[in-house]
Amino acid sequence: MAELDKDLLSIQEARTLAAQARDAQRQFLHATQAEVDRICAAMAQAAADAAVQLGKMASEETGYGVPEHKTLKNLLSSQLLWEAIKDIPTVGVIRSDPKKGTYDIAWPMGVVCALTPSTNPTSTTMFKTLIAVKAKNAIVVAPHPFAAKCCAETIRIMAEAGEKAGMPKGLIACMTQVTLPGTQELMKHKYVALILATGGSDMVRAAHSVGKPAYGVGPGNVPAYVDRSADIPRAAKYIVASKAFDHSVICATEQAVIADRPIAAQLEAAMQAEGAYFVDDRIKQILAQNLFVGHLPNPKAVGKSPQQLAQMYGFSVPEWARILVVRLKTVGREEPLSGEKLTTVLGWYEVDGWEQGCERSLEMIAYGGRGHSQVIHARDENVIMQFGLQKPVFRIVVNTFGTLGTTGYTTGLMPSMTLGSGGVGGAITGDNITVHHMYNTKRLAYEIRTPPDAAFAPGSTDDPAQRRNFTGGASSLPASTPSASVDSQVEEIVKRVLLELKK
């Protein structure tokens, strides 16, 4: 028997899963808020229970990162995320303003196509599944080929829990026959209403080119400015730990330290004590030649420890090294290591004062990090606010990890594995993507002021008598504002409609 073409199998799977998702989502439209929340809570718990297993599986399948750190990201995308969104209303009337006579009604997008990366595969799959289903959507995951098995297992675990809680079968799914033509078929499929893309620049560009609504995120070349007013030991501890976290595969990881010169030597010593190994020019050149393929990170070097990089490229580093630090002078193509490095290599600049720190940060952001994120360590509130006001990025995190602060683990930002880079970064939003982005809002609006009399005039006419006999106008009409009991009436109507739909 002839072997079937893998591309054709992938295309057919995309079509089948999209159709099943559409049918399941039609059933799910009838779900109440309580039913939606019960299903999501069950899936979040199942994902959290499997966090260790899935973190290990992701690391083994991709060869990227640290299993224990992937476990933390899985918990961020299950327990912490669910705690943040569980009380957000997503069914029926979600807001009302009786004074204005308006009622906001949530309406799901439909079928979501979710592109997930090899760097954060299981956590991103959990995150996108929960925010999609919480907003009454279906979702089909198209994983990176390097991470197809761990993503499929994540969906299997969540689907089993969700279906036991009452979720229609097929509402969440994951492609297992993963090819580029199959993923493209899914994105273009007539039943897919929204694309949620997390990954490299090429993937995001492809998602935006399909002609459907898409949330995509750009690369993050994140500067970390350390001011003379900073708590230096704390800044050093946080920067090294954040850069080493999961071997630096999160796009919001610090890519270079910009040290204020009066504290630069102290910061360098403190970072060395935390495991930062400052490399010589020979190793710097080896790294510059091997960490990139063209302008993109080299997949072979992504998510590797300093010791792994040393073994791969023929140099030596101490066993205690958690990250490698390279001294840089400029930003741009002539200094390749000034760009985004999805591995344990960190740039180092020195500047005189926060104004120069601001300028160097702007250079880094312009070189591959537009709209993404900035880290600042300082205790001078004026300096902090100047960075907040002047940087063309949508997350400025203060005195915390870049990795865990921007994703909402150590800050009050919404927990998210998809960080918008806004219009300046080529994305539709600068938000941390969450459940609010997964539904549209219908607005029911009562009249609160009567039209002016001129609105009722017959306008231009050849019959003078018609103009003379016009008696209409606002004064002849009763007011039509909602009554005091309209809120309870609306709620009763919504309940009755939902009951009718379930029959």
3-state helix, strand, coil in the chain (%, to 5): 45, 20, 35
**How deeply is 386 buried, as exposed, middle or buried, from its count of CB atoms within 10 A (0-12, 13-18, 19+)?**
middle
One of 113, 151, 174, 251 is an active-site residue; which one? Answer: 251
User: Catalytic residue at 40?
Assistant: no
Q: Tell me how many degrees the CA angle 212-216-221 measures, rounded to the nearest 5.
A: 160
Q: Nearest 10 degrees: CA dihedral of 224, 227, 230, 233?
A: 60
Contact 166, 47 (CB under 8 A): no
Residue 175 token pair: 């492609």
Give the residue ranges of DSSP H helices in 391-451.
402-406
CA distance 148 to 6: 14
CA distance 223 to 118: 24
Q: Nearest 10 degrees: CA dihedral of 357, 358, 364, 368?
A: 160
Contact 368, 297 (CB under 8 A): no
Q: Which among 84, 79, 88, 123 has a CA at the least distance from the CA of 414?
A: 84
Q: How many helices (H) and strands (E) does the chain have?
A: 18, 17
CA distance 452 to 478: 13
* Residue for token pair 């010593």: 269
CA distance 76 to 403: 12
φ/ψ (deg, to 5) at 471: -120, 0
Give me the active site residues, please: 251
